Amino acid sequence: MNVAETLEALRKRALCDPALKKALLATRDHPNSLGEFCRISTEAGFPLYDMDIIEYGEFSYASMRRSTNGGGENSPLLDGEDDAYEIFLYELERG
């Protein structure tokens, strides 16, 4: 399972498991929020590492930028658009 599939499966499980959802959302307050998120997700059966999520966010954002404007680098980085962790938590809150 790749990172996108793992995050989607984790999101679906968390939406059905209030304790997991609460634990994942609470990682925002942890000093090492991403590391804690990965620890909880791995314990829940969805193995993730910090660099998996960072790389996935950067890759996804780079792919999106390449798909517009002929792939040029003229547009500024949109705040948070490359942060897969925050995007995941946002979607989980809204879900």
Give the span between the Cα atoms of 1 and 7, in whole angstroms: 10
Q: State how far Cα 5 lies from the chain centre.
A: 11
Distance CA 63, CA 3 (A): 15
| Token pair 């984790």 in the structure block, residue | 10
Residue 80 pLDDT: 47
pLDDT in tens, 27-78: 999 999 999 999 999 999 999 999 888 887 666 666 666 665 555 555 555 5
Quickly tell me which residue has 């829940």 as its tokens.
44
- Which residue stretches of the chain are H helix? 3-16, 18-26, 33-43, 50-66, 84-94
Give the chain's domain count: 1
Residue 90 has pLDDT above 90, yes or no: yes
Range of the domain at 28: 3-94
For residues 58 and 85, is the Cβ–Cβ distance under 8 A? no
User: What does the pLDDT average to over 10-38?
Assistant: 96
